[in-house]
Chain A
Amino acid sequence: MVIQYKCPNCGSDMAFDAESGKLSCPNCGRQDNIETFPEENIERKLDPEEAKEYHCENCGAVILTEAETTATHCSFCGAPVVLADRLTGDLAPAKVIPFTISKEEAVAAFREWTKNGRLTPRGFMSGDRIKKMTGMYVPFWLYDIDGTAEVAAIGTRVRNYQRGDTIYTETDFYDVYRAIDLSYLKVPADASEKMDDELMDKLEPYDYRELKDFRMPYLAGFLAEKYDYDDEALFSRVESKIVPYIDSYIHTTISGYSTVSYTNKQIQANKKNVYYTLFPVWMVYYDFENKEHTFAMNGQTGKVVGKPPISGGKVAAWFTGIAASTFVALKAVAYAMGGVLW
């Protein structure tokens, strides 16, 4: 099933506008609330051979998509289309964070970011090198995690004192036991095979106050994908993500000791709730010296991640500058204190 949102004024195809958070018409500028958009203007077209092919409502062209795509543009006439059957049933997202950064803002923010690259080559910052910018809803699983931890440890308290010409070191050993109820809310893990896990982890955190119940119109005008991995498959990844958090929490519950060595540590984490959620990501494809660099921008907060090219000359210059100025500063302090330079 292909869905297109027709403008109640002029009949053009409407797309989601990140700045206003509404459906907006590129032709006449009309804006409509997603919750109140008139049902009769939603064009649904059931395709007989739906699983294989989608046809654009406007021009009839076949919509070419990958199997994971859930929202795209008609490659022929450019109309934003949402592939509804890939978003229903098991595949229906529960939540969505809509884009709050529009394409223009994203371009400007990315330009700003490249200027801050203190180690990137000179030419990287200047010039119009953004080849393509794609707004994409990336599928994530959000896990509410419930767990328990049970730890046993030996803690020591060390005291030093002096009697006469002898130093006494007194070490008290304690048996420490803690049982802890744990809870972590909405820990995300990206469910798309295409997306680099490390890149996606660095895009966090998202502001969950903007988390909305999923509605299809949010996707109009953007690309969207469905998940490749289900919530069972990704749970181990989320577990490995929160274990360091749990460890650091456990550590805060055992205080007042000089040293703590764990003799037994058992952590059990269970998922209480999972939410299939779409997060907004601007993908930036950037040309530099005949190589394409891929960056990702958090479509809600504007945080940019990705591996920029590093200029060896700039690294050397920074290193020399910092080392030399530190050396001069140390010499100056040494001169002030000792009255001697060498």
Chain B
Amino acid sequence: MSSAKRQTFFLFFMLFFMMLTGGVAVSAADQHIYDQADLLTEAEESELEALAAEYSQQHESDFLFLTTPSTDGVPVMTYMGDFFDGWAVENGQEDAVLLTIDMGSREVFLAGFGTAETTLDNSRVDMVLDRIMPYMRIGDYGGAFRETVTTASRYMEFRPGANPESIFFKTWFQLAVSLVLGGVIVGSMVLNAGGRVTTTSRTYFDGNNTRVTSERDRFRNKTVTRRRIPKKNNSGGGFGGGGMTGGGRSFSGGGRGF
């Protein structure tokens, strides 16, 4: 038995065990929330499950939420990779967005698998993380997942490579540009309706008799100012980027401490 298969088997066993003890009454295929650290209330869990199911259907890639009290010393990236290898085999689904919270090391990791690896690339993962960190810090883990689902699904609509937060894509910005342009053009039409001044500074200029008779450009003094380039500062420190799971599935991703 290869190590990947062994891990998969272990995960199966664990999930089965959890379902029995936790009394979660949903079938594995339809499950998106794996709250092993028990961070969510029952009501929250069913609400998020419904949300995840709805968005998953729309995007044909599943939004998964995994929490764990501890990874037993395994890096969170490896841990979530192992989890996903198991989940993918079990559900026959390779396209997924997985948010993992490890309460042991207090780290969060967001990854995109399959098609989501390109539609939710590393830079978009980073932007989603920026938006969920406030929820993480105040301990609203359910809110963090809800934000992940809505924001990531919004980002995934954009063509790969485009920056979804670019001001150019904002409707209010496009509207403002249109209104300003309309105002400027029509305003100048109104002003020019009565005829424009078409004389310029050259109209009456006599180039033969206009000249500089004396000029001086003398260096006086010099000032130098220094400015340090601020280091990119991710509070709590970011890590990750994409990678490969033990089962050979590549993914985009990124993590933060909280």
Contact = CB atoms under 8 A, between A and B. Distances in A.
A337 B162 contact: yes
Interface stretch (A15-23, A184-192, A212-220, A280-288): A184-192
A205 B198 contact: yes
B195 A202 contact: yes
Interface stretch (B17-25, B91-99, B142-150, B220-228): B220-228
Interface residues of A, number: 67
A191 B218 CA distance: 46
Contacts of B205: 184, 245, 249
Interface stretch (B2-10, B209-217, B233-241, B242-250): B209-217
Given A183-B206, A205-B199, A331-B174, A175 B220 contact: yes
Contacts of A178: 212, 214-216
A334 B225 contact: no
A253 B212 contact: yes
B217 A176 contact: yes
Nearest to B154: A340
Contacts of B227: 166-167, 169
A148 to B, nearest CB: 8
Interface string B167-178: 011010011011
Contacts of B221: 172-173
A179 B213 CA distance: 5
A334 B168 contact: yes
A245 B210 contact: no
A339 B224 contact: no
Given A305-B195, A327-B175, A337-B162, A183 B209 contact: yes
Interface in A112-160: 117-120, 146, 154-155
Given A167-B227, A305-B195, A180 B162 contact: no
Contacts of B168: 334, 337
Contacts of B178: 322-324, 326-327, 330
A318 B183 CA distance: 10
B245 to A, nearest CB: 28
Given A172-B219, A186-B204, A337-B162, A167 B199 contact: no
Nearest to B200: A245
A261 to B, nearest CB: 13
Contact of B218 (A169, A174, A321, A340): A174
A195 interface: no
A169 B197 contact: no
A184 B183 contact: no
Interface in A209-264: 242, 244-245, 248-249, 253
B186 interface: yes
B193 A165 contact: no
A307 B193 contact: yes
A168 B208 contact: no
B215 A179 contact: yes
B182 A326 contact: yes
Interface in A297-320: 303-308, 310, 315, 318-320
Interface in B152-201: 157-159, 162, 164, 166, 168-169, 171, 174-175, 177-179, 181-183, 185-186, 189-190, 193-199, 201
22 contacts: A119-B189, A165-B231, A168-B226, A169-B225, A170-B222, A173-B223, A181-B211, A183-B206, A201-B199, A202-B196, A203-B195, A204-B199, A205-B198, A245-B204, A249-B205, A305-B194, A307-B193, A318-B182, A326-B182, A330-B174, A331-B174, A338-B159
Ranked nearest first, the 5 interchain pairs of A and B with the lowest CB-CB distance are A305-B195, A323-B182, A183-B209, A339-B159, A183-B206
Given A167-B229, A338-B162, 8 more contacts: A119-B190, A154-B220, A177-B215, A179-B213, A180-B210, A307-B193, A308-B193, A308-B194
